[in-house]
Amino acid sequence: MRRSICYCEPLSASAGEVSHWKFIYTTANQLPKGTKIRFDLDSKGRPFDWQIPQTNLKEKTNLIWLALAGGKIVGGTEVKHPELLTSSFEFMLPQEVKPGDSFSIHMGNPDKDPHKGNLCQKTVQRKRPFHLLIDPKGKGDYKDSETFFLDVRGSELKYLRTIAPSVVSRNKRFDVIVRFEDMYGNLTSNAPDGTLIDLSYQNLRENLNWKIFVPETGFIALPNLYFNEPGIYKIQLRNLKTNETFYSPPIKCLPESPLSLHWGMLHGESEKIDASENIEPFLRHMRDDKALQFFATSPFDAEEETSNEVWKGLLQQIAEFNEDDRFVALLGFQWLGEPAAEGLRHFIYAKDNKPILRRKDTKNNSLKKIFKTNNPKELLAIPTLSMGKQTLCNFEDFNPEFERVAEIYNAWGSSECTLKEGNIRPIQGGKQGIQESAEGSLIKALNRGCRFGFIAGGYDDRGCYSGLYQSDQMQYSSGLTAILSKELNRTSLIEALQARSCYATTGERIIVGLHIAGFGIGTEIDTKIRPGLEFNRHITGYCIGTQPLLEVSLIRNGKVFRSLPIQEDRCEFELDDSDLLSRIALEGAQERPRFAYYYLRAVQKDGHMAWSSPIWIDLAPQGTPMLSSGKKTRKKSGDS
């Protein structure tokens, strides 16, 4: 039985290449005059998608047309699919096409002028499909489809990216991955012959110097590296062909560190791949291309957006991708509650195979019901974009058992404070966008006694975020969450989040540390145990930027307490807060003791930011004794 033949010319393309593309179809069946042909690009027309061509034959730039074997040209008509947000192109055959004859669909310029051609997508994809549908009756009743496949490969080598741990211990070996990327962030081996990469350690032994060829895979793993002295290091990569130099994010080497620093994203989508439609390639993209160590799913609970079938697929892929010491995959979803009260929550499970809690269900239509029927050790409830008017959370019913962390930032803005209060990444939108609301300020909630660590989210265009990408809503970079945990596995990361051992950045791998009397971020300290803290608090910390720092501030009770000294891309400090705790303490909520809290906020010159989770100091009621050998004692002031 004869079969139709589909093939492309050329068979492959480079990401972002402008060219003339030809899709040739040899039919095995007779196609009568009036047959309708539909060509689907599977492109939404976004900046990184395959460029949508135009159909005006008089305008020869970025044109799509059908050509018959005799050279006759047939113009097309664009057909939009609102439910898919994609475009197709229809053609009608002006004459019969017999079995064995061919016709071709062209995208580009008839004169094959490369400057007037059609732009290839900017993401690498093996066997990128283009679909051809045929209706011999000419009624638009398309059934079976034929498929053309074209490989999209990385374009010319542009960047060298190093993936390395941010915190290591002295003489402890670690692995590094070097990625060879094109200008769009794709892996590539497309480099001039003889290209060599010089690898060395900045601020380390000068005799440690390697030469690396550009591998076919586009990446190379370098095992068993180590630092033999504490300090701050960067791995340097220099392209000997172009003399361009690239540096890794900073690496802090400690004499000994019980905790490791892991980078990931708990809430976020990708502008390139839709997680609900393509969860497997999406997770690979986050793990391999973005080099994240953990990720949580975050579809919205509505059934029309996340059907039971889609949720079932998420369950399966999360379980399969979760791998200790490599990539922790977490199961989560978003739930939008009562406006201006409950706000938007991102729920994250500690285990697999859990149900999605739909607000339309009576048993899940309020936060109180959800908290009553779930275990806080197995479910995190994260307030998200709390300062958005449509997603406002007023924290009046704050639950300290479930709400251990809050999202201080995502790509649509920061909920730390208002624009007037100095927020440099405020939530701002037009009439159809999202505006900020001071009622959801995290500083306001902290001042009222709510206690949560800080995390950051990424880009999102689903649920209540839908339409923001196409609107005039201010969009920023996708954020990252850093978790300090003993191990890279699901149990350890969840325990760290519950302990608020985490911090947030606007996307750069900035290293942040803060300690008060030796206690780290997320800690609650009581003057019953450390009475000297009532009189003096010894504070130490550091911030190591990926770029030069603009300012680093120690925030106390929601206000800048001290602007810290900076040396280029780093800040290391040690200071004492000798203000009496009884004078600065805020009133506690629900009969809790008075308290003060501190956190670190850093801003780089390129605008990227980082926020450490707070540390809280509780003031014990006056007259509370410290018992030692059966006697009342008071430690010396200044003891911390």
**Which pLDDT tens digit goes with each residue over 308-344?**
999 999 999 999 999 999 999 999 999 999 878 899 9
Instruction: Supply 143's token pair.
Output: 């059934």
119 within 8 A of 51, measured Cβ to Cβ = yes
Given this model, what pLDDT does residue 64 score? Answer: 95
Is 80 exceeded by the pLDDT of residue 7? yes
Q: Are 203 and 232 in contact, with CB atoms under 8 Å apart?
A: yes
The H-assigned helical ranges of 490-580 are 490-498
Please report the pLDDT score of residue 373 as a whole number. Answer: 95
Which is higher by pLDDT, 304 or 432?
304
CB proximity list for 411: less than 8 A, separation 6 or greater: 268, 457, 458, 459, 460, 475, 476, 477, 478, 479
Residue of 210, 199, 202, 259 whose CA lies nearest to 227: 202
Between the alpha carbon of residue 388 and those of residues 128, 271, 533, 608, the distances in Å are 39, 21, 37, 21
pLDDT of residue 109 exceeding 70: yes
Mapping DSSP onto H, E and C, the string for 482-501 reads EEEECCCCHHHHHHHHHCCC
Task: For domain 159-257, give the CATH superfamily.
Answer: Macroglobulin (MG2) domain (2.60.40.1930)
Residue 86 pLDDT exceeds 90: no
Kindly list the distances between the CA atom of residue 64 and the CA atoms of 121, 164, 245, in Å, as whole numbers in the listed order: 16, 45, 42
CATH code of the domain occupying 5-153:
2.60.40.1510
Residue 459 · residue 434 · CB < 8 Å: no
pLDDT score recorded for residue 629? 33
3-state secondary structure 242-263: CCEEEECCCEEEECCCCCEEEE
Q: Which of 37-46, 108-117, 478-487 has the highest mean pLDDT?
A: 478-487
* CATH entry, 262-507, from 3.40.30, 1.20.120, 1.10.3470, 3.20.20: 3.20.20
Asked if residue 430 has pLDDT above 90, the reply is: no
> Which residues face 49 on adjacent strands?
none
**Are both 5-153 and 159-257 of the same fold?**
yes
Q: Between 53 and 84, whose confidence is greater? A: 53
Which amino acid is located at 423 in the chain?
A: N
Read off the pLDDT of each residue in 50-74 and give the average, rounded to a whole number: 92
pLDDT of 624: 45
Q: Write down the pLDDT at residue 640.
A: 32
Which CATH architecture group holds 510-640?
Sandwich (2.60)
Q: What is the pLDDT of residues 445-497, one digit of tens each?
A: 999 999 999 999 999 989 999 888 888 899 999 999 999 999 999 999 999 99
Mean pLDDT, residues 257-277: 88
Give the sign of the dihedral formed by CA 56, CA 58, CA 64, CA 70. Answer: positive
Task: Please give the average per-residue pLDDT across 40-48, as a whole number.
Answer: 88
Domain range summary for the chain, segments of one domain joined by +: 5-153, 159-257, 262-507, 510-640
Please check the confidence at residue 82 and state whether its pLDDT lies above 80: no
pLDDT band at 98, cuts 50/70/90?
very high
| Amino acid code (one letter) for 42 | D
β-pairing, 260-265 with 294-296? parallel
pLDDT at 627 over 90: no
Distance CA 213, CA 195 (A): 7
Rounded distance between C-alpha atoms, residue 307 and residue 322, angstroms: 22
Q: Using 50, 70 and 90 to split pLDDT, how confident is the model at 207?
A: low
Model confidence at 54, pLDDT cuts 50, 70, 90, reads very high
With a cut of 70, say whether residue 635 has pLDDT above it: no
Number of H helices, E strands in the chain: 6, 44
* Residue 46 banded pLDDT, cuts 50, 70, 90: confident
- Residue 271: other Cβ atoms inside 10 A: 17
Task: Measure Cα distances from 514 to 1, 348, 533, 600 in Å.
Answer: 73, 26, 16, 7
Cis? peptide before 10, omega within 30° of 0: yes
pLDDT tens per residue across span 363-375: 999 999 999 999 9
- Arithmetic mean of pLDDT, 30-37: 93
Residue 203's pLDDT band (cuts 50, 70, 90): low
Return the ∠ at Cα 276 (arms to 271 and 280), rounded to 5°. 90
Q: Provide the terminal-to-terminal Cα distance of the chain, rounded to the nearest Å.
A: 86
What per-residue string of b and e applies to 170-200 under the rule 16 or more CB within 10 Å gives b?
eeeebebebbbbbebbbbbbbbeeebebebe
- The mean pLDDT of the chain is 91
CA distance 396 to 381: 15
Give the pair of three-digit tokens for residue 605: 């010159």
Is 443 a residue whose pLDDT tops 60?
yes
pLDDT tens readout for residues 537-580: 999 999 999 999 999 999 999 999 999 999 999 999 999 999 99
pLDDT exceeds 60 at position 626: no
pLDDT value of residue 276 = 76
